[in-house]
């Protein structure tokens, strides 16, 4: 059991995240290629204790994400994303995997997989698959034989503990944690995106891989349980927030270095950018708090988190437009820091189902007559509003 106080743990985790952020930012340009991967940065995450940090405090870990309002996790994800969005994407998946294991695993699974996290294994969560070619489990002796692929799998070829969803022989979708060999079964050639090139996003072929029965995590369809399934979107929004802040700082540095900070038009754009960034920060922080607090109904929490992810997306897109107009053509040259930061952010902001997230949140609010100020307070009194 860790004997440090909560304040000490928070300070240590944030110090580690800042160190990772600084080194990742220095390396990011060299990693920006189709075969790039932030291997040294992942090693830093392990060395500084951040890969093991999400292990629950009751099981001897730092309990990152358990703290009130999950504020420390917000800041850790933000800082890592500030240094490198590709690294932030990988770390967010690692955190998500360990949280799912903590929530649905049995004691033996906790002991095994949390020991792997402490040993430096990188976890990931992969659920995307092509229609008709997704992952299925077939009974094979005392375990299962896997067939099918996962697509858009970030860290493919580098993640050594993959938490994946698959269709069970008995029906429904189950989670399982599959040990993988680095460099095996991964195809990165389909990932031809303009940004997030260093995220090693690709296809992982599971055909013929046999796993033991104790790799299955929880019960069928646990993965889709709300509010955690949709509510967890605040984590990738926190990483995006870090990328948004990095764009703001690159833009601000450009204005200072070129002596353009006294131009009223430039100052106006920068002011608008600051409003966008702070708005995104408030949305993410509040979303994390509501998910952790659990006083709102499940549907209300999901609605708020969906609005949060869209508010962060809008803030990011607005900031990109402002920064690119302010910096001009230089910001599109590969030698300028803003160029890669913009590509990575624009790519990572493209998350699935934005229209469904927006209309679903609006539909939830139409079902209540609470006044606007009570929608997210946990003190709903249906029928107050006319």
Looking at residue 288, which CATH number applies to its domain?
1.20.140.10
269 with 309, same domain: the answer is: yes
- Local structure of residue 367 (DSSP, 8 states): T
219 with 158, same domain: the answer is: yes
190 with 137, same domain: the answer is: yes
Range of 190's domain?
126-223
Number of CB atoms found within 10 A of residue 317's CB: 15
235 with 358, same domain: the answer is: yes
41 with 149, same domain: the answer is: no
* Predicted pLDDT of residue 3: 64
d(CA 360, CA 366): 10
* Predicted pLDDT of residue 385: 44
* Predicted pLDDT of residue 91: 98
d(CA 108, CA 214): 9
Tokens 């992969």 belong to residue: 126
Mean pLDDT by 10 residues, the chain (386 residues): 68 96 97 95 97 94 87 97 98 98 97 97 96 89 94 97 95 95 94 95 96 96 96 97 98 95 95 98 97 93 98 98 96 95 97 95 94 84 46
314 with 249, same domain: the answer is: yes
d(CA 127, CA 51): 21
Choose the final residue of a domain: 223, 247, 277.
Answer: 223
Which CATH number belongs to the domain containing residue 39 in this structure?
Answer: 1.10.540.10
User: Residue 181 falls within a domain, yes or no?
Assistant: yes
193 with 109, same domain: the answer is: no
User: How many domains, in total, are found in the chain?
Assistant: 3
Choose the final residue of a domain: 177, 198, 223.
Answer: 223
21 with 104, same domain: the answer is: yes
* Predicted pLDDT of residue 379: 63
Choose the final residue of a domain: 223, 256, 282.
Answer: 223
* Predicted pLDDT of residue 10: 81
d(CA 385, CA 378): 16
């Amino acid at each position: 059991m860790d004997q440090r106080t909560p304040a000490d743990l928070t300070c240590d985790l944030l110090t580690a995240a800042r160190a990772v952020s600084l080194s990742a930012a220095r390396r990011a340009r060299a990693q920006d290629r189709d075969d790039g991967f932030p291997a040294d940065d992942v090693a830093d995450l392990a060395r500084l204790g951040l890969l093991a940090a999400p292990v629950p405090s009751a099981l001897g870990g730092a309990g990152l994400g358990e703290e009130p309002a999950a504020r420390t996790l917000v800041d850790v994800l933000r800082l890592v994303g500030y240094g490198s969005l590709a690294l932030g994407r990988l770390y967010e998946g690692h955190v998500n995997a360990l949280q799912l294991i903590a929530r649905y695993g049995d004691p033996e699974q906790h002991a095994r997989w949390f020991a792997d996290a402490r040993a430096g294994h990188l976890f990931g969560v992969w659920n995307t698959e092509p229609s008709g070619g997704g992952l299925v489990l077939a009974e094979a002796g005392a375990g299962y034989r896997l067939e099918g692929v996962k697509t858009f799998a970030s860290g493919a070829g580098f993640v050594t503990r993959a938490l994946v969803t698959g269709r069970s022989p008995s029906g429904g979708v189950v989670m399982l944690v599959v040990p993988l060999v680095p460099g095996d079964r991964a195809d990165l050639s389909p990932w031809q995106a303009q940004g997030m090139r260093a995220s090693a996003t690709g296809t992982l072929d599971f055909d013929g891989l046999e796993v033991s029965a104790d790799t299955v995590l929880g019960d069928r369809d646990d993965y889709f349980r709300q509010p955690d399934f949709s509510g967890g979107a605040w984590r990738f929004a926190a990483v995006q927030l870090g990328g948004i802040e990095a764009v703001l700082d690159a833009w601000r540095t450009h204005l200072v270095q070129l002596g353009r900070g006294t131009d009223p038009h430039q100052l106006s754009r920068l002011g608008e950018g600051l409003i966008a960034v702070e708005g995104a920060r408030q949305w993410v922080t509040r979303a994390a708090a509501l998910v952790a607090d659990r006083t709102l109904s499940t549907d209300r929490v999901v609605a708020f988190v969906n609005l949060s992810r869209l508010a962060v997306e809008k803030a990011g897109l607005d900031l990109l437009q402002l920064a690119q107009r302010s910096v001009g053509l230089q910001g599109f040259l590969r030698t300028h820091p803003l160029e890669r930061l913009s590509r990575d952010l624009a790519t990572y902001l493209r998350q699935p189902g934005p229209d469904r997230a927006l209309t679903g949140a609006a539909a939830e609010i139409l079902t209540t007559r609470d006044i606007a100020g009570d929608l997210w307070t946990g003190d709903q009194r249906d029928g107050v509003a006319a």
